[in-house]
């Protein structure tokens, strides 16, 4: 028998809260609940404040000249930009500690007085205590579900994602609460290069694709190194469906290549473009958007797919800059699908995103289409 552990945990929290509330009685449970509500409210406010503070710092780094800042401050700001997820949690922790101290001092006296005005039978009522405990259990389950939701926004955890997707309580909470209310607060600002990076990005691509078509949307021949070709054939062995091949290559790349923040810093802060080939990306396991897109194009081309390298502007959370991604053509359905392995490495949900949704974060400016009928190894 297969158990859904997300459902079991959420239900167990509610049942445990009912039993705990009944054992404490209405008076003690009421006081305990007030503290819990204050803690949860503090956490929610701290998340919003921390995310806002982190975004403000990131914007300052992008818009100001870090080189003109004191050395210690420049190092802090660059480290913050290199690790945005860590920066958000640091900001959240600081805001939570400050807010928790303020709220605790304000409400502590009131909470202590809560049971004093209640008649003793009401204070000791196990039935009312259980009811209050059950209501609070629902809130606690929602908070635990929210932590799962946040974790899945930031991390690729396939077993947890599968369990969550199969949990009816979690899906209900996600649809009613997390997606409309929580996701806007924790949506990631995914990595893009500064606006000026577009020119060296194009130069990097031109090293490996030989243009043969009109300007703007060009058809080229891609030279694929043997190591990359062998890997692509290995990853797609036995597959005939183009979309299945494209997804297999996407999943491999997002789990084996990480974003190179040093290369990002070299360009954004020092004006130096660290050029590399797709083979170097494969060997080092690091790269920025151009490198992700080029490596994916090599893999897809070697697997017999018609692949496109797109350049343009992209961004989330107000952070926009130059970016590169891919599209793959599915001849059996006669349409292109979107593939952003750079963002997929940070948030595994950027394969075959509907174009109407994809266009909200990506604006294509140029494209190179790689002809699958011509392949060199």
Ranges 117-121, 319-323, 343-347: which has the least confidence: 117-121
Whether 61 shows a pLDDT value over 80: the answer reads no
Q: Of 186, 205, 240, which closes a domain?
A: 186
Please indicate, yes or no, whether residues 109 and 151 belong to a single structural domain of this protein. yes
Q: Of 136, 160, 186, which closes a domain?
A: 186
pLDDT for the residue numbered 99: 81
Residue 182 lies in a domain: yes
Residue 296 tokens read as 């994916």
Residue 167: pLDDT band by 50, 70, 90 thresholds? very high
Residue 376: pLDDT band by 50, 70, 90 thresholds? very low
Note the pTM of the prediction, 2 decimals. 0.57
Please indicate, yes or no, whether residues 326 and 179 belong to a single structural domain of this protein. no
User: Looking at the 3D structure of the chain, how many domains does it have?
Assistant: 2
Residue 375 lies in a domain: no
pLDDT for the residue numbered 29: 83
Residue 156 lies in a domain: yes
Residue 177 lies in a domain: yes
Residue 304 lies in a domain: yes
Whether 340 shows a pLDDT value over 90: the answer reads yes
Nearest alpha-carbon partner for 264 in 79, 116, 12: 79
Whether 86 shows a pLDDT value over 80: the answer reads no
Residue 195: pLDDT band by 50, 70, 90 thresholds? low
Please indicate, yes or no, whether residues 93 and 222 belong to a single structural domain of this protein. no
Residue 376 lies in a domain: no
Whether 252 shows a pLDDT value over 90: the answer reads yes
Please indicate, yes or no, whether residues 120 and 204 belong to a single structural domain of this protein. no
pLDDT for the residue numbered 183: 72
Please indicate, yes or no, whether residues 58 and 181 belong to a single structural domain of this protein. yes
Q: Scanning the structure block, which residue is given the tokens 């958007």?
A: 289
Q: Of the ranges 16-30, 36-50, 193-207, 219-233, which is most confident? A: 16-30
Whether 32 shows a pLDDT value over 70: the answer reads yes
pLDDT for the residue numbered 204: 53
pLDDT for the residue numbered 90: 81
Please indicate, yes or no, whether residues 173 and 72 belong to a single structural domain of this protein. yes
Give dist(CA 325, CA 339) in Å, integer: 6
Mean pLDDT of 187-206: 59
pLDDT for the residue numbered 189: 61
Q: Are 50 and 88 in contact (CB under 8 A)?
A: yes
Q: What is the DSSP letter of 177?
A: I
Mean pLDDT of 220-243: 88
Residue 377 lies in a domain: no
Whether 375 shows a pLDDT value over 60: the answer reads no
pLDDT > 90 fraction of the chain, expressed in percent and rounded: 33
Ranges 59-68, 72-81, 229-238, 285-294: which has the least confidence: 59-68
Q: What is the DSSP letter of 335?
A: E
Segment 98-145, tens digit of pLDDT: 887 777 766 665 655 555 666 777 778 889 889 989 998 998 999 899
More confident residue, 4 or 195: 4
Residue 325: CATH number of its domain: 3.10.620.30
Give dist(CA 253, CA 245) in Å, integer: 12
pLDDT for the residue numbered 113: 54
Give dist(CA 174, CA 248) in Å, integer: 28
Please indicate, yes or no, whether residues 328 and 230 belong to a single structural domain of this protein. yes
Please indicate, yes or no, whether residues 129 and 254 belong to a single structural domain of this protein. no
Torsion from C-alpha of 274, 280, 286, 292, nearest 10 degrees = 90
Whether 26 shows a pLDDT value over 60: the answer reads yes
Please indicate, yes or no, whether residues 177 and 240 belong to a single structural domain of this protein. no
pLDDT for the residue numbered 250: 95
Please indicate, yes or no, whether residues 150 and 206 belong to a single structural domain of this protein. no
Domain extent, residue 361, equals 195-370
Whether 31 shows a pLDDT value over 50: the answer reads yes
Give dist(CA 348, CA 329) in Å, integer: 21
Residue 342 lies in a domain: yes
pLDDT for the residue numbered 129: 87
Please indicate, yes or no, whether residues 114 and 211 belong to a single structural domain of this protein. no
Give dist(CA 298, CA 208) in Å, integer: 9
Element (H, E) at 33: helix 26-63
Whether 346 shows a pLDDT value over 70: the answer reads yes
pLDDT for the residue numbered 59: 62
pLDDT for the residue numbered 120: 75
Whether 374 shows a pLDDT value over 80: the answer reads no
Please indicate, yes or no, whether residues 261 and 309 belong to a single structural domain of this protein. yes
Nearest alpha-carbon partner for 218 in 36, 25, 12, 365: 365
pLDDT > 70 fraction of the chain, expressed in percent and rounded: 76
Average pLDDT over the chain reads 80
Q: Of 186, 215, 240, which closes a domain?
A: 186
């Amino acid at each position: 028998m297969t158990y859904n552990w997300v459902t079991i945990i959420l239900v167990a929290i509610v049942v445990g809260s009912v039993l705990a509330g009944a054992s404490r009685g209405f008076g003690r449970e009421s006081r305990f609940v007030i503290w819990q509500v204050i803690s949860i409210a503090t956490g929610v406010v701290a998340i919003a404040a921390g995310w806002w503070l982190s975004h403000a710092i990131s914007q300052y780094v992008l818009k100001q000249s870090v080189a003109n800042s004191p050395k210690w401050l420049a190092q802090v700001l660059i480290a913050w930009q290199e690790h945005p997820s860590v920066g958000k949690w640091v900001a959240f922790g600081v805001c939570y500690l400050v807010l928790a101290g303020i709220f605790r001092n304000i409400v502590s006296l009131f909470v202590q007085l809560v049971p004093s005005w209640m008649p003793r039978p009401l204070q000791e009522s196990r039935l009312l205590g259980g009811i209050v405990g059950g209501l609070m259990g629902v809130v606690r389950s929602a908070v635990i579900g929210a932590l799962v939701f946040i974790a899945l926004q930031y991390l690729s955890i396939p077993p947890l994602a599968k369990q969550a997707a199969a949990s009816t309580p979690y899906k209900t909470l996600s649809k009613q609460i997390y997606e409309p209310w929580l996701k806007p607060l924790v949506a990631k600002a995914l990595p893009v290069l500064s606006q000026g990076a577009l020119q060296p990005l194009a130069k990097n691509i031109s090293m490996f694709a030989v243009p043969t078509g009109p300007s703007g949307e060009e058809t080229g021949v891609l030279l694929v190194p043997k190591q990359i070709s062998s890997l692509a054939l290995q990853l797609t062995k036995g597959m005939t469906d183009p979309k299945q091949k494209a997804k297999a290559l996407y999943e491999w790349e997002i789990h084996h290549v990480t974003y190179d923040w040093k290369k990002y810093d070299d360009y954004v802060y020092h004006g130096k473009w660290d050029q590399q080939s797709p083979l170097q990306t494969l060997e080092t396991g690091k790269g920025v958007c151009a490198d992700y897109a080029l490596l994916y194009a090599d893999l897809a081309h070697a697997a017999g797919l018609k692949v496109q390298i797109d350049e343009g502007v992209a961004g989330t959370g107000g952070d926009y800059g130059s970016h590169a991604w891919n599209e793959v053509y599915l001849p059996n359905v006669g349409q292109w699908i979107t593939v952003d392995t750079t963002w997929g490495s940070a948030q595994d949900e950027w394969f075959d995103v509907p174009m109407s949704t994809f266009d909200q974060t990506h604006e294509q400016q140029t494209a190179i289409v790689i002809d699958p009928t011509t392949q060199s190894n």
